[in-house]
Amino acid sequence: MLDLNNKSVLITGGTGSFGKMFTRLILKNHPNVKKLVILSRDEQKHFQMAQEFNESKFPQIRYFIGDVRDKTRLIRAFEGIDVVIHAAAMKHVHLAEYNPMECVKTNINGAENVIDAALECGVKDVVALSTDKAAAPINLYGATKLASDKLFIAANNIKGNRNIKFSVVRYGNVMGSNGSVMPFFLNKRKEGANFLPITDDRMTRFNISLEDGCEMVFYAIEKAWGGEVFVPKIPSYKIPDVAKAIAPELEHRVVGIRPGEKLHEEMITSSDSYNTVDLGKYYAILPQKSPYSQYSKEEYKKAFGGVDVPDGFSYDSGNNTEWETVESLRDLVRKHVDSNFEV
């Protein structure tokens, strides 16, 4: 059973949607956490988050302004930290396409800085957040996150005698997160729009709640051996079904796929299948066997009761076996996005 009491935890990008939910769950389930450091470059988001998680009420919280591009600042922030959750990233696909090097500096160089600072400061566990767009990427955001994933996986090869593990958590669209489709459609409806823009009526996406995303990270902190990419078994939805769930009275107007978008998102490619283990609730993509391997696939399966996935197995939002319906999507909007939502 994971116990973060008397541990020091740091979240990069900690003022975002994930960071706020993760903070809420840590304070609820691990109230005696020694220190919880929220690292972000956005002072306004620090100020806003402190209205809910005030230092006078939660004296273990520290609001640390810093950028993952600045390794010196990270080293200062990581001193005395046991667990690092790396959530900071440049995430908007179209903005990354227009500003490619800014995405590279944050998502790739920033990842390497997190690794170097963690190794230098004696951190014990590092869990990096990935994205479904990192599997067979066709956009720059996905490509930078794939590079980031590879950096964190390979970091286990250079830890030497340090007691540290690096792992990755990869999941799909988060309900209600900034820039996601549900709040976007809700806002269009509230603004009195005449139609909802649909990029393509065949488009599908994976769906996960913030709470479930956080639970995956807790799982990785507790269970990771180092080098895994953990993938959840979650339902998919069709974008037109989200539009029907939120605003059935509005026209759905197809506006075309934006630069860098896919029709269906992948989380495990067929090429990954040979290194993938089914753990029941999650899949784990294990590091490819090499002279530097820390453990074998057979050892891992035995330890966790895992089984091989079929050769050539792939996991994408279009070939999924579990789907949200219009009604289930309405329930999810009420539960996770807008409690006052009514059709």
Residue 175 has pLDDT above 80, yes or no: yes
pLDDT band (50, 70, 90) for residue 2: very high
- Domain assignment present for 200: no
Mean pLDDT of the chain: 95
- Contacts with 184 (C-beta within 8 Å, 6 or more apart), sequence order: none
Phi-psi region of 71 (alpha: psi -120 to 50; beta: other; left: phi over 0): alpha
E-assigned strands of the chain? 8-12, 35-40, 61-65, 83-86, 125-129, 165-169, 173-174, 195-198, 204-208, 229-232, 236-238, 251-254, 266-268, 276-278, 282-285, 307-308, 315-316
* DSSP-based three-state secondary structure for 21: helix
308, with CB counted inside 10 A (0-12, 13-18, 19+), is middle
256, with CB counted inside 10 A (0-12, 13-18, 19+), is exposed
The domain containing residue 62 runs over which residues? 8-172+208-233+266-315
What's the rounded Cα separation, in Å, for the pair 22 and 127? Answer: 13
Residue 177 has pLDDT above 90, yes or no: no
Active site residues: 133
Residue 256 tokens, joined: 């075309």
- Domain assignment present for 71: yes
- Domain assignment present for 1: no
Q: What tens digit of pLDDT does each residue of 51-61 get? A: 999 989 999 99
- Domain assignment present for 323: no
- Contacts with 199 (C-beta within 8 Å, 6 or more apart), sequence order: 239, 254, 255, 256, 257, 258, 261
Which amino acid does the sequence have at 224? A
Residue 231 tokens, joined: 């993938």
Q: What tens digit of pLDDT does each residue of 318-340 get? A: 999 999 999 999 999 998 888 88
- Domain assignment present for 227: yes
- Domain assignment present for 342: no
- Domain assignment present for 177: no
pLDDT band (50, 70, 90) for residue 172: confident
Q: What tens digit of pLDDT does each residue of 299-318 get? A: 999 999 999 999 999 999 99
What's the rounded Cα separation, in Å, for the pair 307 and 305? Answer: 7
Residue-level pLDDT at 26? 97
Crossing angle for the helix pair 239-246 and 326-336, nearest 10 degrees? 70
Buried b (16+ CB within 10 A) or exposed e, 18-27: bbbbbbebbb
Distance of CA 60 to the CA centre of its chain: 24
- Domain assignment present for 122: yes
- The total number of structural domains that make up the chain: 1
Of 225, 228, 40, 47, the C-alpha closest to 130 is 228
Q: What tens digit of pLDDT does each residue of 13-43 get? A: 999 999 999 999 999 999 999 999 999 999 9
What's the rounded Cα separation, in Å, for the pair 265 and 104? Answer: 21
pLDDT band (50, 70, 90) for residue 114: very high
CATH number at residue 214: 3.40.50.720
